[in-house]
């Protein structure tokens, strides 16, 4: 499809976080006007490069009314969910409050202010244990943890809001977001960090003693789990295309986002060692409960309907960009430490 270049005013909730901050940069580079709403519980003020940052929470309905009254938004992008699977099992209440109740607050204020376009960050976790791979949009939805359930609940609510209120939405079901902006200005900063690539890079930098590998006896070529990694900038391009899709078609859509191929844990470790020129100490532990052997996306629908094409489908680019970000962060930390000593 031919896409129109239409400048839009976009509210990005969760825009100070990992994916959200990359999205803010991409939106501005595409010529859009950006407002960010983030409570900074896991995001970072300095990650919002440009754009107007409003520090606040989706639970604050008075603030939400004020933000929508004082601005005229064409579309909203949602990155404000809690995302840790293990934490969601231990603390389901905070996941349902934030990922469902607070998102409902957002939808309701959008409806009241006649803002009818939303791009929603969903997840492959809505599918649960895969019945087949690659996973397409027809795959049964059977989430096995509160995080995945909270996202699937929201996808169903969005379908109801579309039918009742005309709130058009695109739900983008991420597989494994990874990498960093090639400029080195933005990257992944979770606390605690739970994702394989940044953890491996911390080991390469000597910030962790060893990398823990959970299971090397899976039915895969090298015995380790296989995952579909997608570069964060490619995710952002999919969001831009989704916003354009909503503008041009006025239709809702749910699609999977991944590279369509998987990389094993051993392959990731080898790539980190190659890019960082280090050897990673690895501790092998038993499998974690609920870790499928393979999670790979069938993203043909996103390519067909959105015109999406990953720019960085290779593992080397993903790890290289993440490594550059890690080195930049390390350099900044060392500079601050020297300044504190000299102060």
pLDDT of residue 92: 96
pLDDT, greater one: 205 or 290: 205
The confidence band for 339, taking pLDDT boundaries of 50, 70 and 90, is low
Other Cβ atoms within 10 Å of 151 Cβ, number: 27
Average pLDDT, integer, range 210-229: 95
Tell me the backbone φ, ψ of residue 39, rounded to 5 degrees.
-90, 0
Out of 18, 95, 147, 245, pick the active-site residue: 147
Q: Model confidence at 244, in pLDDT bands (50, 70, 90)?
A: very high
Average of per-residue pLDDT across 309-338: 89
21: pLDDT strictly greater than 50 = yes
What topology is assigned to 9-333 in CATH?
Answer: Rossmann fold (3.40.50)
Catalytic residue flag (residue 312): no
229 has pLDDT over 50: yes
pLDDT tens by residue, 93-143: 999 999 999 999 999 999 999 999 999 999 999 999 999 999 999 999 999
Residue 1 CB neighbour total at 10 angstroms: 12
Give the separation between CA 65 and CA 112, rounded to whole angstroms.
Answer: 9
d(CA 53, CA 74): 17
pLDDT on residue 193: 86
Tokens encoding 89: 């099992």
Taking 3-state DSSP, the helix, strand and coil percentages for the chain, each rounded to the nearest 5, stand at 45, 15, 40
Contacts of 138 (CB under 8 A, 6+ apart): none
Q: Is the pLDDT of residue 2 over 50?
A: no
pTM of the shown model: 0.94
CA 216 remoteness from chain centre = 27
């Amino acid at each position: 499809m031919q896409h129109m270049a239409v400048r839009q005013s976009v509210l990005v909730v969760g825009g100070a976080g990992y994916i959200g901050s990359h999205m803010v940069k991409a939106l501005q580079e595409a010529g859009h006007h950006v407002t960010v709403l983030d409570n900074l519980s896991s995001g970072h003020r300095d990650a919002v490069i440009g754009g107007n940052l409003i520090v606040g929470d989706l639970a604050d309905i008075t603030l939400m009314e004020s933000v929508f009254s004082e601005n005229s938004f064409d579309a909203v992008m949602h990155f404000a969910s809690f995302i840790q699977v293990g934490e969601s099992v231990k603390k389901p209440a905070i996941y349902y409050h934030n990922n469902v109740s607070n998102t409902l607050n957002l939808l309701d204020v959008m409806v009241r202010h006649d803002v009818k376009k939303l791009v929603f960050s969903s997840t492959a976790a809505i599918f649960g244990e895969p019945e087949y791979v690659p996973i397409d949009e027809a795959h049964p939805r059977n989430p096995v943890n509160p995080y995945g359930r909270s996202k699937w609940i929201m996808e169903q609510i969005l379908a109801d809001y579309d039918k009742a209120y005309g709130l058009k939405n695109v739900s983008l079901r991420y597989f494994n977001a990874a990498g960093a902006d090639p400029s080195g200005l933005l990257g992944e900063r979770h606390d605690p960090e739970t994702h394989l690539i940044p953890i491996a890079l911390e080991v390469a930098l000597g910030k962790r003693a060893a990398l823990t590998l959970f299971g090397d006896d899976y039915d895969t070529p090298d015995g380790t789990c296989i995952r579909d990694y997608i570069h964060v900038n490619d995710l952002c391009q999919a969001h831009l295309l989704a916003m354009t899709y909503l503008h041009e078609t006025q239709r809702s859509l749910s699609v999977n986002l991944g590279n369509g191929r998987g990389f094993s844990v051993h392959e990731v470790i080898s790539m980190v060692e190659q890019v960082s020129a280090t050897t990673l100490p690895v501790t092998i532990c038993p499998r974690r409960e609920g870790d499928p052997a393979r999670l790979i996306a069938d993203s043909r629908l996103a390519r067909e309907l959105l015109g999406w094409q990953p720019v960085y489908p290779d593992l080397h680019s993903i790890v290289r960009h993440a490594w550059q970000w890690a080195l930049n962060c390390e350099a900044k930390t060392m500079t601050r430490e020297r300044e504190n000593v000299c102060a």
